[in-house]
Chain A
């Protein structure tokens, strides 16, 4: 290990830890605990989804057919790519290559913003079509032969759709902020081969947000085979 590495590490060791190993494993464990709370946080919404989907399946099918499956699938792919660049960025940090890390994390940010952009396009479409819960909500299947069977509960579907994807998008925005912070700190020489815990933890967060989407996509977009455009 180069002496500069050791200096960064000594600088980063907080007084109440015995050594870097204890500090690193402790903060990573702390991050996992935090992700546990995130799981339960989203879990409440998923529970609501489960209850209503089990009770009002048809209404959920009709709602989901308003989803643009191609945009959804594209977004899934975008997020997966961003997870790859994030994983590689953490790897670069592990190897003590801050510039490489910065480039890879920048790609992650671009992909993350791409995701948010596509999401915004979808939101806009739903908004224009009155598919936002509340007094302006109005729902039609778009097929005169099959009028909406249960628009009241389709509104619940949309409530959940907005709440779940909105909360997810909020996490994405926070993620982009965190990654930006890591890039700046990394270029400023904050990390080294001996100390890169913040990079690792932000990586964990990013992958977790990806993970949530991996479930949101099939649950919200792929309920039944007949999807509209």
Chain B
């Protein structure tokens, strides 16, 4: 149970102003436009970098504001970070195999 000295419980304390929601929404729409546009420009390997960067910005906005992570407890934030951490482990350690497999076949 939580320490009692914290401020009195008020479920309305995270009431986010409508204007903020609308701003986030507008930003998400604009970023969607940008990512579609960016895909039409030839950037080589950076196409995917840009696309993922924009997706991550959008995702962060959704998580922080729509999902109220910004107003949540530390515990919730740690939870989200942990999920991302283990996802990255899954991706990166799998790729250690796929990215270096060609090296080992050249050994044979």
Contact = CB atoms under 8 A, between A and B. Distances in A.
Interface of A: 18-22, 24-25, 28-29, 32-33, 35-36, 39-40, 43-44, 46-47, 50-51, 54-55, 69, 73, 76-77, 80-81, 83-84, 86-88, 91, 94-95, 193-196, 200, 203-204, 207-208, 210-211, 214-215, 217-219, 221-225, 227
Interface in B27-77: 28-29, 32, 35-36, 39-42, 47-48, 51-52, 54-55, 58-59, 62-63, 65-68, 72-73, 75-76
Nearest to B13: A94
A153 B11 CA distance: 52
Nearest to A204: B67
5 contacts: A28-B72, A47-B91, A200-B68, A210-B62, A225-B40
Contacts of A81: 25
B103 interface: no
Which range contains the number of B residues in contact with the other chain?
35 or more
Contacts of B94: 47, 50-51
B98 A84 contact: no
B2 A21 contact: yes
Contacts of B54: 218
Contacts of B66: 83-84, 86-87, 203, 207, 210
Interface string B2-24: 10000001011011101001101
Given A54-B98, A203-B67, 16 more contacts: A21-B9, A33-B79, A39-B87, A43-B87, A43-B91, A51-B98, A55-B98, A80-B25, A80-B29, A81-B25, A83-B62, A210-B66, A214-B62, A217-B35, A223-B48, A225-B40
Contact of A214 (B1, B58, B65): B58
A194 B39 contact: no
A69 B47 contact: no
Given A40-B86, A196-B11, A222 B76 contact: no
B107 interface: no
A96 to B, nearest CB: 9
A214 B73 CA distance: 25
Contacts of B2: 21-22, 25
Given A39-B83, A76-B32, A54 B95 contact: yes
B67 A88 contact: no
* Of listed B9, B73, B82, residue having the most chain A CB within 10 A: B9
B11 A94 contact: yes
Contacts of A28: 72, 76
A122 to B, nearest CB: 16
B98 A91 contact: no
B87 to A, nearest CB: 5
Contacts of B73: 25, 29
Given A32-B76, A91-B16, A214-B62, A193 B11 contact: yes
